[in-house]
Amino acid sequence: MPRFERRSIRHDVTGTGCPNLNYSEVSMNERKTGAQENQRYWVGLDWGEESHAVSVVDDDRTVLHQFKVGASFHNVQQLAQRLHALGAVAGIAIEATRNPVVAYLVSQGFTVYPVNPKLSKNWRESNSVAAVKNDERDGLVLAVELARRHESLRPLRQDAPAVAELAGLCEKLRQLIDQRTALLQRLKATLRQYYPGIMGFFSDWASPLAWRFVKRFPRPETLARARKNTLIRFLKAHRIGLKPIWLERIDKRGEVTHWPSPADSMALEIMALATIAQLQGLQPHIDQCDRLIAQRTGNLPQARLLRSLPGAGDRLVPALTAMAAAMADEEDGLEALRCVSGVAPVEVQSGKRRRVRIRRRCNKHQRNIMHLFARCSTVSCAWARAFYDLHREQGDRHASALRKLADKWLKIINRMLATGEAYDDERYVQALRKNRSPVYQRLCGKTCA
């Protein structure tokens, strides 16, 4: 178990074998007078909505302080002042990265170590078979394990403001699009129940025109009774030309009433209109994100290089740019990005038994970006398709082959950033030929050895 100060432990009398911790604060004045001046202090912070539990230990993992602070800004400000008064605070461990407390502590010059909650749970359970859990103990475990393992942990690194802003915009845009997709599925499912005849009027239900049309003619009877000139004026007002297909749809508008009307058609109509209102409220924010992303991407030098990648369109280039810019700022950026994006596999070996599995503890947004880019590259790039087909023939599943292709693309992107040269497909294919790569043989239609 972690080494705590002797007087802060009293043995358990319940027979569980688990020590009970006394969380009363130990004053610095009670420390030995011969303490070294270069002593470092490690802090564990278990944050909460109403209060934060703080523990402080030294290099010997001796408990120095344990206390709670409120969650208001004034309380956090006092916490920073108290930690500064201790002297050499080498690091603060916390189970968060985007909490405002983390941002404030970083702004005050502290080194923050974000800890995955699953990792801190393993630390806590390794110190007690009874699985005791409370805020004070969680903060103490974070402080003790940070003092013990800080060399193997990665401190929180602040990206450049422009890169962080672009990454946040791309991630939130993806979430907004996911919300829109869910609303579109709900709208179409609702219309199929009480208004199936309108489904043939539009092929793209993500178009705001389709939403306005349903809002203008919300039920089959309304559309069937509408005059032809009314529909034509609606189409002209929304800049829709009178193509033959639209004239045919207008002439057959009466057929929408042939379907039987369900008993709850009024409730379904209300649901459809409510969903359309949500879609119309969401779309302007998606458009705003698109405009901001286009502006921010143009200001980053990595975007010019990444636009040369096959399959990287207007949606993927900004997200790849944010990932590449963050990778370029670190010495081991490629390896870190391979792990964070979930491209690098996890190896599990016990004796002679070895297996490789997907890395699930990663940034899901970045993993989705790399998966989608790898998929798009198989359509636009011949060697990428050959790489994918080769691994599929070797027994890999679809997702596994795409992850391996994404790993290959990350190495190419890293090389592009190092040399400042755009991607040249012909040059890369010639490199495959020179190295006698099986991918080149597969590309040429030859049998792979």
pLDDT one digit per residue (tens) for the chain, 449 residues: 444 433 333 333 333 333 444 434 444 444 444 444 578 999 999 988 889 999 999 999 999 999 999 989 999 999 999 999 988 899 999 998 778 899 899 999 999 999 988 888 888 888 777 777 888 889 999 999 999 999 988 888 877 888 889 999 999 999 999 999 999 999 999 999 999 999 988 888 999 999 999 999 999 999 999 998 998 888 888 877 777 888 888 888 888 899 998 999 999 999 999 999 999 999 999 999 999 999 999 888 888 889 999 988 888 999 999 888 877 666 677 888 888 888 888 888 877 788 888 888 888 889 999 999 999 999 999 999 999 999 999 999 999 999 999 999 999 998 898 888 999 999 999 999 999 899 988 888 754 44
How many CB atoms are closer than 10 A to CB 345? 17
Last residue of a domain, one of 127, 152, 177: 152
The answer as to whether 157 is a domain residue is no
* pLDDT (0 to 100) of residue 357: 82
Do 249 and 368 belong together in one domain?
Answer: no
The answer as to whether 75 is a domain residue is yes
Do 371 and 409 belong together in one domain?
Answer: yes
- Chain centre to alpha carbon of residue 64: 37
Domain CATH for 144: 3.30.420.140
* pLDDT (0 to 100) of residue 39: 82
The answer as to whether 448 is a domain residue is no
The answer as to whether 213 is a domain residue is yes
The answer as to whether 355 is a domain residue is no
The residue type of 416 is M
Last residue of a domain, one of 282, 297, 312: 297
Do 241 and 336 belong together in one domain?
Answer: no
Do 213 and 242 belong together in one domain?
Answer: yes
* Total residue count of the chain as it appears in this document: 449
Do 219 and 250 belong together in one domain?
Answer: yes
Q: Which residues of 8-45 are buried (b: 16+ CB within 10 A; e: fewer)?
A: beeeeeeeeebbebebeebeeeeeeeeeeeeebbbbbb
Question: How many structural domains is the chain composed of?
Answer: 3
The answer as to whether 253 is a domain residue is yes
Is the separation of the CB atoms in 135 and 47 below 8 Å?
A: no
Do 109 and 234 belong together in one domain?
Answer: no
- Report the alpha-carbon distance of residue 340 to residue 120 in Å, rounded: 18
Do 283 and 319 belong together in one domain?
Answer: no
What are the start-end ranges of the H helices in 307-351? Answer: 316-328, 333-340
* pLDDT (0 to 100) of residue 348: 83
Is the separation of the CB atoms in 54 and 76 below 8 Å?
A: no
Do 292 and 411 belong together in one domain?
Answer: no
Do 106 and 242 belong together in one domain?
Answer: no
The answer as to whether 73 is a domain residue is yes
Q: How far apart are the first and last CA of the chain?
A: 54
* pLDDT (0 to 100) of residue 274: 97
* pLDDT (0 to 100) of residue 362: 84
SS3 content of the chain, % helix, strand, coil (to 5): 60, 10, 30
Last residue of a domain, one of 122, 152, 182: 152
- Report the alpha-carbon distance of residue 423 to residue 317 in Å, rounded: 13
- Chain centre to alpha carbon of residue 103: 19
Predicted TM-score (pTM) above 0.95? no
- Checking DSSP bridges between strand 63-70 and strand 20-21, what pairing results, if any? unpaired
* pLDDT (0 to 100) of residue 10: 33
Longest dimension (CA), the chain: 96
Domain assignment of residue 108, given as a range: 6-152
Do 414 and 434 belong together in one domain?
Answer: yes
Residue 148's closest CA among 46, 3, 35?
A: 3
Do 403 and 293 belong together in one domain?
Answer: no
Do 246 and 188 belong together in one domain?
Answer: yes
